[in-house]
């Protein structure tokens, strides 16, 4: 918050009349406190007409969508969206988290965990679409390339990653090794979403929200006969339809990457490439600095880091800064549009948002 307020000195408490916060107990590890917005409003000295603590966690697209809905409904004009979090300790808190995404009675007893469940989705996707081990590695390598341009990225000082480094790292659950998984850390971010007409008061540049999509297809992943049929495709289709844009018109993509398989799945399911061609796309350097479709230009969860209850926020902050021309050393040339996709659970909750430089 300090950084947000110092980056935007023209903001004042009276300008904010909406507030959305995550259930992080002031950078705590995955709490379900749904009253954070009350404490934050008090600290900020604001009296919002629209406020809630959302279980955003990963799916910050839901937070952005709710802010837009409130503004469009005339409830408020300026919604401050805050993300803060700390990735919980994998082993110690693994049980608690696993009960949230898998059925506690019928799944926990088999030793299910989030990485293992995503690993099963990855195996099925690789089986159906032909994605290779090297292509998974290419996703991690691409994320690290971007992290090397971003001093805020957790892996910024660790040097480049090679394809061979990924399967050489500690095995987690086939096909995943350590570097196929996001890096745990803590952090946060914030967005101010305002009614189009009041942009000039807050900032000299803006990123306009021109399309939103949302799907929720299943709860436990074991419930669906085809683990790769997750609602990703329909979600992005909704956002493209609302915005009137197609994949070809997207300048950059911020694709939630807790594991190396998911950016590949998103590229294919969203129609950026043909089915089966997502892995190759990452291998071709198209997603890295200087590429034709830069992906996760801040380093992604894989190399910027997974900030627990704020993880999804990182994608939105980066997309907005790129569209607004504020990304410094990471700035991609001629960014007109950005697609942001965040998902939660085991590809359970999906939200796609498309941003554009002009309304």
Partner 1 sequence: MLRLQRCRNCQAAIHYPRRWCPKCWSTDLDHFDARGTGVVITYTIVHQSPFEAFDAYTPYVLAIVQLDEGPTMLTNIVGPGAMEVAIGDPVEVRFEKRNGWTVIPQFERARSKD
- 248 in contact with partner 1 (CB under 8 A): no
Q: Which two tokens stand for residue 314?
A: 């990182």
Please enumerate in sequence order all residues whose Cβ is within 8 A of that of 322, keeping only pairs 6 or more positions apart, or say none.
251, 252, 297, 330, 331, 332, 335, 338
Coil, strand or helix: which one is 8? coil
Angle between helix 90-101 and 114-129 (nearest 10): 70
Please enumerate in sequence order all residues whose Cβ is within 8 A of that of 187, keeping only pairs 6 or more positions apart, or say none.
84, 85, 305, 307, 310, 314
Residues 201 to 220: which contact partner 1 by CB under 8 A?
Answer: 220
CA neighbor of 184 nearest in space, from 172, 202, 197: 172
Give least dist CB 279 to partner 1, A. 18
Give least dist CB 261 to partner 1, A. 12
Candidates 112-120, 195-203, 262-270, 291-299: pick the segment binding partner 1 (CB under 8 A).
Answer: 112-120
- 111 in contact with partner 1 (CB under 8 A): yes
- 19 in contact with partner 1 (CB under 8 A): no
Give least dist CB 110 to partner 1, A. 5
Torsion of the alpha carbons at 308, 101, 97 and 89, rounded to the nearest 10: -50
- 106 in contact with partner 1 (CB under 8 A): yes
- 274 in contact with partner 1 (CB under 8 A): no
Give least dist CB 230 to partner 1, A. 13
Q: In whole angstroms, what is the distance from residue 291 CA to residue 272 CA?
A: 14
Nearer to partner 1, 5 or 96 (CB): 96
Nearer to partner 1, 180 or 349 (CB): 180
Binding-residue total with partner 1 (CB under 8 A): 38
DSSP run (H or E) holding 324: helix 311-324
Nearer to partner 1, 170 or 329 (CB): 170
Query: Of the candidates 32, 170, 197, 333, which one interacts with partner 1 according to CB under 8 A?
Result: 170
Candidates 18-26, 50-58, 107-115, 253-261: pick the segment binding partner 1 (CB under 8 A).
Answer: 107-115
- Looking up tokens 């980066």 gives 318
Q: In whole angstroms, what is the distance from residue 74 CA to residue 264 CA?
A: 38
- 165 in contact with partner 1 (CB under 8 A): no
Residues 43 to 82: which contact partner 1 by CB under 8 A?
Answer: none
- 22 in contact with partner 1 (CB under 8 A): no
Nearer to partner 1, 153 or 172 (CB): 172
Please enumerate in sequence order all residues whose Cβ is within 8 A of that of 246, keeping only pairs 6 or more positions apart, or say none.
240, 271
Residues 120 to 139: which contact partner 1 by CB under 8 A?
Answer: 120-121, 123-124, 127
Q: How many residues make up the chain in this entry? A: 359
Q: In whole angstroms, what is the distance from residue 32 CA to residue 256 CA?
A: 22
Q: In whole angstroms, what is the distance from residue 65 CA to residue 263 CA?
A: 22
Tally the C-alpha atoms within 13 A of residue 11's C-alpha that lie toward its C-beta.
24
CA neighbor of 354 nearest in space, from 329, 336, 327: 336
- 302 in contact with partner 1 (CB under 8 A): no
Query: Of the candidates 79, 80, 112, 323, which one interacts with partner 1 according to CB under 8 A?
Result: 112
Query: Of the candidates 72, 110, 197, 204, which one interacts with partner 1 according to CB under 8 A?
Result: 110
- 276 in contact with partner 1 (CB under 8 A): no
- 33 in contact with partner 1 (CB under 8 A): no
- 340 in contact with partner 1 (CB under 8 A): no
């Amino acid at each position: 918050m300090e950084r947000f307020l110092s980056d935007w000195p023209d903001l004042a408490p009276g300008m904010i009349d909406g507030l959305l916060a995550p259930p992080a107990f002031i950078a705590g590890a995955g709490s379900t406190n749904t009253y954070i917005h009350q404490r934050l409003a008090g600290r900020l000295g604001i009296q919002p007409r629209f406020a809630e603590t959302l279980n955003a966690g990963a799916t910050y697209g839901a937070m952005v969508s709710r802010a837009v809905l409130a503004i469009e409904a005339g409830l408020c004009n300026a919604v401050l969206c805050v993300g803060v979090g700390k990735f919980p300790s994998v082993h110690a808190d693994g049980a608690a988290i696993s009960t949230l995404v898998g059925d506690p009675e019928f799944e926990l007893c088999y030793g299910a965990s989030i990485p293992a469940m995503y690993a099963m989705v990855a195996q099925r996707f690789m089986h159906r679409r032909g994605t290779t081990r090297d292509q998974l590695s290419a996703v991690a390598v691409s994320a690290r390339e971007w992290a090397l341009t971003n001093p805020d990225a957790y892996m910024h000082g660790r040097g480049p990653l090679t394809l061979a480094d990924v399967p050489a790292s500690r095995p987690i659950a086939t096909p995943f090794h350590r570097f196929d998984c996001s890096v745990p850390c803590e952090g946060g971010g914030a967005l101010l979403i305002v009614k189009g007409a009041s942009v000039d008061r807050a900032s000299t540049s803006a990123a306009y929200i021109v399309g939103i999509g949302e799907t929720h297809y299943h709860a436990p992943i074991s419930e669906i006969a085809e683990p790769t049929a997750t609602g990703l495709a329909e979600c992005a289709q909704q956002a493209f339809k609302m915005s009137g844009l197609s994949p070809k018109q997207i300048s950059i993509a911020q694709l939630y990457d807790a594991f190396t398989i998911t950016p590949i799945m998103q590229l294919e399911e969203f129609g950026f490439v043909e089915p089966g061609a997502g892995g190759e796309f990452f291998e071709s350097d198209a997603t890295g600095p200087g590429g034709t479709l830069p992906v996760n230009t801040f380093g992604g969860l894989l190399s910027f880091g997974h900030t627990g209850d704020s993880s999804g926020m990182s994608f939105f902050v980066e997309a907005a800064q790129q569209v607004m021309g504020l990304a410094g050393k990471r700035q991609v040339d001629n960014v007109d549009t950005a697609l942001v996709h965040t998902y939660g659970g085991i590809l359970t909750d999906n939200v796609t948002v498309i941003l554009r430089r002009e309304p």
